Amino acid sequence: MTNKEKAISFLTLAGTGMVQEAYEAYVSPDFIHHNQYFAGDRESLKVAMEEAHQNSPNTGIEIKKVYEDGLTVITHSHVVKTDMEIAVLHIFRFEEGKIVELWDLGQVMDANSPNENGAF
């Protein structure tokens, strides 16, 4: 399985509430992340993802674009929740087949956006 395929599988699992399974399969014990809302360690983000699923689960996730360059994979995804839709960019860094570093940036999509091109 390529790193690109692993990133897609990780997002699909985690995005549908299977956070523990996603972490066990794809996340290194040495994982760090750059989400500004949580401590930068592996466990803090995992707990936050599990809590987010309990409090406001995704009703859909579609990975629109995936780019792989060496050990880096970038995804552009459409996340749907009951009360909002979000365009999300993830940047994964892999080592020895596992995710060791993650950046995630999200933008709530405006249904009344004047941009005729949309988020995707």
Q: What are 55-93's pLDDT values in tens digits? A: 999 999 999 999 999 999 999 999 999 999 999 999 999
Tokens of 62: 């579609």
Please state which CATH number belongs to domain 3-108.
Answer: 3.10.450.50
Phi/psi at 29 (nearest 5 deg)?
-60, -25
Element of type H or E holding 14: helix 3-15
At 9-43, the pLDDT tens digits run 999 999 999 999 999 999 999 999 999 999 999 99
pTM of the predicted model, to two decimals? Answer: 0.94
